Structure 1
């Protein structure tokens, strides 16, 4: 498929608007692809988004429930979190799975890479399938008040279809696993 190799956006200037340990916000004065002046804001993430679909032998998975500050509502999700840019993403996935669910897996497979909101952020997401599960003690961070439920995967898939699960990382991961089921590539 053809696509232009050169960036049609011209940056005239940039200014850092905000910075904290997790994100940086920059505002750009630009000439847009139509040749008109404008502004563009970019949120740079200082971590990689990591998601894990743990599947046991009976096709059960684990959902993590928590109240999301940004949404002001409760959210059911797959185990997920951030991984430092200078650490192997698989090591971050192993840490997140143990932290949130108390699970360790003997088999890991990367199943998806994607950008979560490429119109305003540069956030990269990597999703893993984890199998060969063993239960240990969960180690949640002090900012996490989590409920973990073991749920049949088919029920989790239905939660995506009926809009109960809305977290984009979880939705993408669950749909990818369902596709892998249909293609017999699990």
Structure 2
């Protein structure tokens, strides 16, 4: 099997590793410079989902958890994965409920991005959630969460100071602020955001 792939040529591909969440594929390639090479690619079974939930008082529920790849605890907005065959909104609603216990009366998808396009095909969808009702979280058996609420202004300061370094959290917060300032979000979440960060 030889196949053109942009300026690359894929000469062969094999699955090097697979589990329910990822598949790692090893490609033997001809590089754009004409020389032989290899390329490893991580394919994700799910899409990434990030939710920026906004209480009317300008606070945001944050989730703390131990991240295995980093070997440390992190603070993040609610986020997770959703099957590619499922409506991303349904995935977002489930993740918000599982991780924080919150349900939302208002939802708006406001961005997508490729999270690490040099080695993965993982694509993220981000949502605003507002008109929140607090309930009981329902984490999956392998999830252990901490929970806190901070103002959006505090969260933005923590991002700038490097205390919140999760990429999806940063993308969701900074994109929401930029779009609120540009008048590109629904009225209610836009008011909450602008009341906090101007």
Alignment TM-score > 0.5, same fold: yes
Aligned to 2:34: 35
Structure-1-length-normalised TM-score: 0.94
Q: Is it true that 1:11 corresponds to 2:10 in the alignment?
A: yes
Aligned length: 181
Q: Where does 1:1-186 land on structure 2 (aligned, <5 Å)?
A: 7-185=6-184, 186=190
Choose 89-98 or 31-40, whichever is displaced more.
31-40
Shift of 1:177: 1.8
The alpha carbon displacement at 1:180 in A equals 2.6
TM-score by length of 2: 0.89
1:132-163 per-residue CA deviation (whole Å, 9 max, x = no partner) reads 11111110111111011111000000111000
3-state SS in 1 of match to 2:176: helix
Q: SS of 2:99's equivalent?
A: helix
Which runs of at least 4 in structure 1 moved beyond 3 Å after TM superposition?
none
Please tell me the root mean square deviation across aligned C-alpha atoms, in Å: 1.1
Tell whether the 8 Å contact from 1:157 to 1:178 is kept in structure 2 after alignment. Answer: no
Secondary structure of 1:143's counterpart equals coil
Check the 8 A contact 1:103/1:135 in 2, yes or no. Answer: yes
Could you tell me how far apart the structure 1 residues matched to 2:145 and 2:127 are? 21
Q: CA deviation at 1:184?
A: 3.9
Distance of 1:30 and 1:96 partners within structure 2: 38
Secondary structure of 2:97 counterpart: helix
